[in-house]
Structure 1
Amino acid sequence: MTTVAGTGSRGPSGTAYPHIVEQLRTDRGTLGGYVSDASIFRRIPEAVFEPRSLDEVRDALALARERGWPVTVRGGGTSVAGNAIGEGLVIDTSRHFNQVLAIDAEARTARVQPGVLCDALRAAAAPHGLTYGPDPSTHSRCTVGGMIANNACGSHSLAWGTAAANVVELTVLRADGALVTLGKGGTSDPDLDAELLRLRDDNLALLRTGLSRFPRQVSGYGLHHLLPEHGFDTAKAFAGSEGTLGIIVEAVVRLVPVPGAKALAVLAFPEVFDAAAAAPLSRRPGVTTSEGMGGDLLDTLRTSQGPAAGDLLPGGAGDPRPAGGWLYCETTGETAEEARARAEELRAEFSSHPEHRTVDAVVVDDPDEMRQLWRIREAAAGLVTRLPDGGAAWPSWEDSAVPPERLADYLRDLYRLLDEHGLRGIPFGHFGEGCVHIRISFDLGSDAGLRTFRSFMEEAAETVARHGGSLSGEHGDGRARSELLPRMYSPAMLRAFAHVKSIFDPSGTLNPGVLVDPDPVDRGIRPAPGQRHREFVPLHALSRDRGSVVDAVNRCVGVGLCRSDDGAMCPSFQITRDEVHSTRGRARILSELFRGELYPEGTGSEEVKDALDLCLSCRACASECPVNVDMATYKAEFLHQHHKTRRRPMAHYSMGWLPLTSRLLHAVPGAARLVNAALAIKPVEKAVLKLGGVDPSRSMVRFSRRSFQSRAKSTGRQRSERPSRGRVVLWPDSFTNHLDSDIAAAAHAVLSALGYEVVVPGGFVCCGLTWHSTGQLTMAQRVIGRTLGVLEHHLDGTTPVVVLEPSCAAMLADEAPELLPADPRTARLAAQVVTLGDVVAQHTDDPDWPFAELEIPALSQVHCHERSRRGHGGTEAVLARLGVAEAQVETGCCGLAGNWGFEPGHADLSRELGERELLPRIRELDGAAAVLADGYSCRTQIREGLAGSEHEGRQGLHLAQLLRRALRT
């Protein structure tokens, strides 16, 4: 065994590094979460380790040597080439080893740990007027260490170059545990310097002529940086080595000044080839990006996000001169006028160019509009994994690059090659630098499809080499393309690559199978034949995925937006920072479930259940994930299968059946009052919580004295004195019917004041939400079916059905048609579902608007299901008309998430989620401000979160309550 001086110790059992062994994650849940990255490849690791320090990395490396494990280092896991997975020890630096150690504003450098996020570094540099130049589309979740290892670039490489170009110094652990510093002029190890100099001097002509022929030639190792004319820069030569030469434990990187002002010219061309041909002409001072996209991307965007998506793009669908390709050209200047003038110059030049004329163009300098346009481009990496017809598309021929002036011809040849193999793909990428990203419709689930895949990859490698290009223009070769390097490089160059690998890692410990002695391009593919071994028939129609739960899970290609702090996805990951608790991690585990190897017990697996346990079913992923992974639905399907032969937890009965028990309680006169009185006695409340399997730190629900249906029935139909606007059905959901009936009464008064005839259905009507969220899908179907029968005479496809609880609205509009696809009544009901805000917003211009202006500020906790499925626009319009200055909680789910926050083991995380933003912002409000929360869970979280504090009296209000307050008497 090799030991490292000054670290580690042998325990009583004789095992070295017991402190590392204790921290190793070897449970099957973790291993399933780490089987893949953003690539098509699959490797099951022996263990995962999340270090906090250099010493822990060194000790983990020594332990791996002792056990004969290969070692793979992983950052954000956004690698599209399969270079962040391995069959030995995976060292994940992103969770703990992720600090910005120093910013030197004068030298314009930053010293960082490898797991620091790109955006975190940029945020730390921003106060100094600086930024980190490389910015791949995954900048919100990729790590700087991973960017250096894979030589990532991003859209601004036209101005600031690749990650290698921005490296100043690296501190690296070699495979034998030796620590070495790399930089310009050599390393801290004279023996290493001598070996690298000998390698360089033996291959001077080869390195000068075979490497760095154009900026995006990043395949293989960057040995040209060792040349004398490049200053023998060992740090830059190490960049792009994909974890095969050493482990980065610290990096000093270059920072660049933030431009004084920016503008964006989006140029629309007839075809993507025209955009590609024009791109080299856009390379000029003051132009920092020249990003290209193909026309099919807009169709895919609208399939994913709705028909209005991408409307800002010039030459879009419906335009008299529709575009087939776009260039995003960002311009900079000392002033806004200078930046805009440069963008206008591009628009004018290409609008009349004799060879490369646009069909349309737009110039924007408003930051919000620029951000919206850039989101389209940045979403491409995920969007293009689904073609416009819903078919899957996969990475692997992902990052090819050619000299920019050859790009249009290369793209034409690439399209011909796709046609010859019966494949499709949507290109996008860094056209100004000749780099193309494309996801291709490979059939990876059949043997014939895999043969086509290999054939295409081999011919594509020949094609790009024929154009003088590179297999990889960023992100590395990985397992996707390393085997194809002989198609691009000479035997002599490959020998040089093997030599540098032997210098740094003679034992082949680090990331084997990549670059040197490569794995076959078709080995260990994740969605390959055999993935469906344990597929089950879902109860949801899964209409977007051909009824296949495997196809649904395979939506996740791993771009990792769920690991970002931007937006509402994924709440549990944002607290725990655990890959298993990300949407991607759960999707990987479900994929392994269907394969049947890691979890041979199938849906009976406790590890799979535990991985899904912290999914709040907030549905943020259903809208924010670029490919609309819907983990809430997959979780419900799994729970349904899991509990077919296993006893359910008591909370599934106490919370899942709450709508029915509440109705039975209100069927007995006075029973609700007696129950509330009993629950007011603390020992009784705690006993009931315990019997119900609910977390004892929670408080028990309280019931309205009468149900809203009962109140509505006793008062009869209210007719407004105003002219009738027609009839609306006010849906008596279980929460506002039995728990918060004052809200339903307020909504009734508001709708009546607007002139509507308000109808309240009688009998037991329920959307089935609580049964759905607990995986009791058969019962959910029965409840929805019964409800449809009660509502039959209201289901005319036009009468508005006003649903006050956002989660119930989403359930009726989105889930019911999927659970009962053969029943046409579900589609009619879905078409009729509206929110109160949507109804009232139709009348904001009425001269006889019945509400007084409130002129108050308000903080809105937009319910996660409303945010993800229904939208908040109607409520926004109503609040603006009321004179309410609305601010919104940006982090999404309140943290209670219906039954989830009440279940044992969830309370602490639920409270942490509430403390992210919601509760602190409420505590900062002045007394006049309102807190708006249409969701029952959100109001409960607010009430419990403020209990016992000076803010205890502040309650969350439903929009109906605010509107009733504003009604003119």
Structure 2
Amino acid sequence: MIQRDSLTRHLYATDASMYQEVPEGVAFPKTSEDIQQLVRQANTHRFSITARSAGTSLAGQTTGGGVIMDVSRYMTQILEMNEKEQFALVEPGVIRDILNREAGKHQLLFGPDTATTNRCMMGGMIGNNSAGSFSIKYQTTREHVREMEVVLSDGSRATFKPLTPRELEAKKKLDNLEGHIYRSMLKLLERHRELIETSYPHKEIIRRNTGYALDKLLEMQPFRADGRPFNLCELLCGSEGTLAMTVSAKLNLVPKDPHQLLIIPQFKTLEEAMRAAVEIVKYDPAAVELVDHIILDATKGNIEQRKNRFFLDGEPRYILITQFEGQDVAKLHQRAEELRQRLSGLNLGYAYPVVDESDKMKRVWDLRKAGLGLLMGLGEDTRSPSFCEDTAVRVQDLPEYVQEFQQILEKHDTGCVFYAHASVGELHLRPVLDITTPAGLEKMKTIAGEIADLVKKYRGSLSGEHGDGRARAPYIPKVLGEEMMPVLKQVKEIWDPEYIFNPGKIVNPKPMEADLRFSPEYKKPAPETVFSWEKEGSFGEATELCNGAGVCRKLAKSGGTMCPSYMATKEEKDTTRGRANVFRQVFEGDHPDGFASEELREALDLCLSCKACKSECPANVDMAKMKAEFMHGWHEQNGSSLKERFFAEAGKLYPLASITPKLANAITASAPVKWGLEQVFGIDQRRDLPAFAPRSFGSLFKAHQRKGTVQSPEKVVLFVDLFSWYNEPDVAMAAVHTLETMGYEVIISKHKETGRPQLSKGFLKDAQQIVREVLDDFRDYVEAGIPVVGLEPSEILTLRDEFLELCRKDQKELARKLALQSFMFEEFVADHADKLPGSNQKQKVLLHGHCHAKALVGNQPTVEALEAAGYEVEELQTGCCGMAGSFGYEKEHYEVSQDIGELVLFPALREKKEELVCAPGFSCRHQIKDEVSRKAWHPAELIAQRIRGLVD
């Protein structure tokens, strides 16, 4: 039941916090009985249990030295959706967005809305008492949990819910741990009532989550005659898994308002923004979110978020994303206009754009939600450890509180990121510190203490929603007072006398600086590498980029491509985060395993090198490049297999096979040969290898030349890859026809490879040789300013990506120029669409984008090129097709390849049977042909057909 292998333990050593602690093992319960059995084992064998779902906690509460209990793999069911009574019964591994997609079918929703909703899970939201952007309207998770079924520290089960006085008396009489909890908690609350009420934060602060929620229990019967029924669920919310293990929860759902509208005031100074926030809350908003210039600047360098900056007016230093919701859209616009006039009249802000289209509002919120990951991935020079980022004060206190916070920063000569929930007085304030130096570490501890004193001064909360965990627990005495600490300890011991559940969190914490991921003892990896790693600074810095935010854990229905293998397997080792964590751990230290690590090789096995992480990961982790570097080092130490060489060196075999294509096709399609290919090269027998065309592109183009080609001062170099040359020459000929029709003289490049197969298999020296030869041969084209146009996205985009990292130093400037002059075919056509013949006829086409294109360019150029040719394009929201070059052909990967395709792509194509299908990627087209029996066209074919008037 408990996995104790080294890889699994290292995968679960970190979360999104600054901590790293390798556990004894990891358990993946499927049922409540499994959790009970695990708890009983813990009692017998004296180990601790730390509950974890998505592992996106920022205070270290999902790290621990005992057993990590991960509910995210199996306990993911919505057990009941009750529209009439407006509740959902869920297991702790249910993702918040999935819950709301189901609730949305009934015009209901679960209100709390964190920045991590596409991967955070209800168990974690309960543990942290999460709130999110809309807490001014929906408050916190605590207000939406009706009942909880839990496993207690002795292995028994209990259900907590609101109790009538009679039911409460009955609970007190139980002769078990549950009865003991009720009796002891009521006595504790009565005994320490006055101390709790005077020590805890202002009741006006919605997001108060420091310590255990004893103040919330005192609002209930029997302590207040007019209070709500006694319900220990409110204590469990925010208890960080230190009191009980959640089995299921009944969650309150609320009706969705039909209309939303955003107004986004923009400011030059933080003071203006804070004063404006105080005004805005008077207009009954559903959310008011601060985003500062540091995050806004970071969006410029993130491919995924760059397109979401459309609403910004110039370069604001601060913005307040304000959402109004209601039944009448006209009234929402009226309220927004009244707010605009109010702020303008007070000289607060200089621009107030209104956004009311749903797709554009989503883009604004996507930018806001990316904020945490973006700032956590800014690099070591702007590293911001999360230790005081979760404080909350009353909204009216916010301007003065922020001013005093800034004074503390100035005293310590550092800056700060300011963002998040201005509507409820909580800002995520993240000082920039380098805690890998002794001075930086001491400064963090000093600032943490001073911030805790400041929070106490305003009677605020040290933790608003991220939890106390390890980072803030040492400072709870400053905020609640030393007298409260024995009380909190009593709470822990009433529920968990042996400290089995998540010890060291909230009470009895280790020092803040214990078990840090980065500390003065940390030794940055510095192995010899083939890539130059210029963008990241070094290979060592590349291994540090991942911040644990866990965006790579989103599932297919959330959109995007990263990480396709995780979407299929749901295993942490198949996330970018999991792989990055193992990378860092095996390369750091005095005696790193590095390129000899079996664990890392296993973690990388299902990485498809799709490059989605390069754009979708907020920290821009490029796992494809990291994998290539590691596999190169692995080959250097361990040699390479025949199978790996076969896929990397296909270019040597293609010319031979194309001499007699019919014979080659017949041989490779025969059952005995398929069996032999599986045995020798690992090619799954269920796969058909791509057929060789009767005539290669070289032959077809020579025939075309004999008929006469376009002679023009405007020239393009057409890079025809191996697959277009030997397997699908019609694609390349279609490109020639299109480019000539546009008035270009087409020059065919001598080279057919840019090193993509070699890169994907880790043969970097071979790829490096190809890079250097291509650059030398393309020098004249580059110097003449002739654009280079490619048909296969992964091949042509290698010129813009890896070439810059693999070229000789004397070729660096040439490589930069070539990168600027290189285009995917559809990119080039879109940029010169005015040269295409006009067409009024429209035909529907479904577009499945190539992973590398989406990561480095986006689908928009393909959409624009097809539209310019007269097509009506529906961009399918598909991720990876699952083929990914050779990946889908390999026997050990065949099933995963199919599972990935079945996530979105295959069902979408089966549903839309009538439309044309466009897929720029060679692998994608063959995956579609093999698994859906549909013909998929390259954009060049579709555009050429339109030009010729031959579209079916």
Pair 1:845–1:921, CA change in 2 (3 A) = same
The structural deviation recorded for 1:29 is: 1.4
The structural deviation recorded for 1:289 is: 0.6
* 2:913 is aligned with 1:933: no
Amino acid at match of 1:345: E
Task: Identify the residue that residue 345 of structure 2 maps to in structure 1.
Answer: 352
8 Å contact 2:449–2:475 — kept in the other structure?
Answer: yes
8 Å contact 2:201–2:461 — kept in the other structure?
Answer: no
The structural deviation recorded for 1:714 is: 5.5
Partner-residue secondary structure (3-state), 2:862: helix
Task: Identify the residue that residue 382 of structure 1 maps to in structure 2.
Answer: 373
Structure 2, unaligned stretches of length 5 or more? 173-177
Partner-residue secondary structure (3-state), 2:500: coil
Distance 1:719 1:395 in 2: 67
8 Å contact 1:273–1:408 — kept in the other structure?
Answer: yes
CA deviation string 1:584-637 (max 9, x = no partner): 11111112112359x953321212101111011111111111111111111111
Matching residue within 307, 312, 331 for 1:338: 331
CA deviation string 1:843-890 (max 9, x = no partner): 4345xx436555322221111011111222222122223332222231
Give the TM-score taking structure 2 as reference length.
0.93
Q: Say which structure is richer in helix.
A: 2
Structure 1, unaligned stretches of length 5 or more? 1-22, 318-322, 947-951
Distance 2:428 2:808 in 1: 37
Matching residue within 53, 60, 67 for 1:89: 67
Task: Identify the residue that residue 299 of structure 1 maps to in structure 2.
Answer: 297
Distance 2:682 2:80 in 1: 49
Matching residue within 888, 904, 908 for 2:891: 904
Task: Identify the residue that residue 697 of structure 1 maps to in structure 2.
Answer: 686
Amino acid at match of 1:642: W
Matching residue within 787, 796, 803 for 2:790: 803
Pair 1:750–1:27, CA change in 2 (3 A) = same
* 2:673 is aligned with 1:684: yes
The structural deviation recorded for 1:433 is: 0.9
Distance 1:700 1:132 in 2: 48
Task: Identify the residue that residue 648 of structure 1 maps to in structure 2.
Answer: 640
8 Å contact 1:294–1:428 — kept in the other structure?
Answer: yes
Amino acid at match of 1:289: A
Partner-residue secondary structure (3-state), 2:249: strand
The structural deviation recorded for 1:842 is: 3.6
Distance 2:187 2:269 in 1: 49
The structural deviation recorded for 1:303 is: 2.4
CA deviation string 1:731-762 (max 9, x = no partner): 12222122222211111111111110000122
Pair 1:438–1:905, CA change in 2 (3 A) = farther
Partner-residue secondary structure (3-state), 2:319: strand
Matching residue within 842, 849, 867 for 2:854: 867
Task: Identify the residue that residue 363 of structure 1 maps to in structure 2.
Answer: 354
Partner-residue secondary structure (3-state), 1:701: coil
Partner-residue secondary structure (3-state), 1:802: strand
Task: Identify the residue that residue 591 of structure 1 maps to in structure 2.
Answer: 584
The structural deviation recorded for 1:671 is: 4.1
Matching residue within 882, 889, 893 for 2:880: 893
The structural deviation recorded for 1:710 is: 4.6
Matching residue within 552, 571, 589 for 1:578: 571
The structural deviation recorded for 1:648 is: 1.6
Task: Identify the residue that residue 559 of structure 1 maps to in structure 2.
Answer: 549
Partner-residue secondary structure (3-state), 1:645: helix
Task: Identify the residue that residue 200 of structure 1 maps to in structure 2.
Answer: 189
Task: Identify the residue that residue 632 of structure 1 maps to in structure 2.
Answer: 624
Partner-residue secondary structure (3-state), 2:870: coil
Amino acid at match of 1:561: V
Alignment of 1:548-947 (within 5 A): 549-565=539-555, 566=558, 567-595=560-588, 601-663=593-655, 665=657, 670-713=659-702, 715-716=704-705, 724=712, 726-762=714-750, 764-796=751-783, 798-820=785-807, 822=809, 823=811, 824-846=813-835, 849-850=836-837, 852=839, 855-927=842-914, 929-946=915-932
Distance 1:216 1:349 in 2: 27
Matching residue within 370, 394, 400 for 1:403: 394
Distance 1:371 1:224 in 2: 37
CA deviation string 1:372-426 (max 9, x = no partner): 1111111101011144996433322221112222222222232332333333332
517-526 vs 290-299, greater mean Cα deviation: 290-299
CA deviation string 1:490-541 (max 9, x = no partner): 1221121111111001111111111110111111011234543654133222
8 Å contact 1:53–1:97 — kept in the other structure?
Answer: yes
Amino acid at match of 1:259: D
The structural deviation recorded for 1:165 is: 1.8
8 Å contact 2:523–2:588 — kept in the other structure?
Answer: yes
Q: CA RMSD in A?
A: 2.2
Distance 2:808 2:187 in 1: 70
Distance 1:527 1:573 in 2: 27
Partner-residue secondary structure (3-state), 1:283: helix
Distance 1:114 1:940 in 2: 39
Amino acid at match of 1:640: H
Matching residue within 911, 917, 940 for 1:960: 940
8 Å contact 1:298–1:310 — kept in the other structure?
Answer: no
Task: Identify the residue that residue 13 of structure 1 maps to in structure 2.
Answer: none
Task: Identify the residue that residue 11 of structure 2 maps to in structure 1.
Answer: 33
Distance 1:43 1:195 in 2: 34
Pair 1:635–1:255, CA change in 2 (3 A) = same
Task: Identify the residue that residue 14 of structure 1 maps to in structure 2.
Answer: none
8 Å contact 2:378–2:619 — kept in the other structure?
Answer: no
Distance 1:625 1:432 in 2: 28
8 Å contact 1:298–1:316 — kept in the other structure?
Answer: no
Task: Identify the residue that residue 270 of structure 2 maps to in structure 1.
Answer: 272
Task: Identify the residue that residue 174 of structure 1 maps to in structure 2.
Answer: 152
The structural deviation recorded for 1:252 is: 1.7
Distance 1:310 1:746 in 2: 35
The structural deviation recorded for 1:285 is: 5.9
The structural deviation recorded for 1:204 is: 1.2
Task: Identify the residue that residue 494 of structure 2 maps to in structure 1.
Answer: 503
The structural deviation recorded for 1:69 is: 0.9
8 Å contact 1:272–1:293 — kept in the other structure?
Answer: no
Distance 2:377 2:832 in 1: 39
The structural deviation recorded for 1:53 is: 0.9
Distance 2:522 2:631 in 1: 20
Alignment of 1:2-81 (within 5 A): 23-81=1-59
Pair 1:591–1:714, CA change in 2 (3 A) = same
Task: Identify the residue that residue 175 of structure 2 maps to in structure 1.
Answer: none
Matching residue within 97, 102, 115 for 2:93: 115
Partner-residue secondary structure (3-state), 1:435: coil
Distance 1:316 1:255 in 2: 40
Partner-residue secondary structure (3-state), 2:833: coil
Pair 1:389–1:803, CA change in 2 (3 A) = farther
8 Å contact 1:423–1:441 — kept in the other structure?
Answer: yes
Task: Identify the residue that residue 10 of structure 1 maps to in structure 2.
Answer: none
CA deviation string 1:430-464 (max 9, x = no partner): 01111111333321323333222222222222232
8 Å contact 2:525–2:540 — kept in the other structure?
Answer: no
The structural deviation recorded for 1:330 is: 0.7
8 Å contact 2:550–2:577 — kept in the other structure?
Answer: yes
412-421 vs 136-145, greater mean Cα deviation: 412-421
8 Å contact 2:669–2:688 — kept in the other structure?
Answer: no
The structural deviation recorded for 1:245 is: 0.9
276-285 vs 704-713, greater mean Cα deviation: 704-713
CA deviation string 1:175-222 (max 9, x = no partner): 111222223345674432211111011111122222241222211110
Distance 1:631 1:308 in 2: 21
Give the TM-score taking structure 1 as reference length.
0.92
CA deviation string 1:897-927 (max 9, x = no partner): 0022223310011011112222222233344
Amino acid at match of 1:916: L
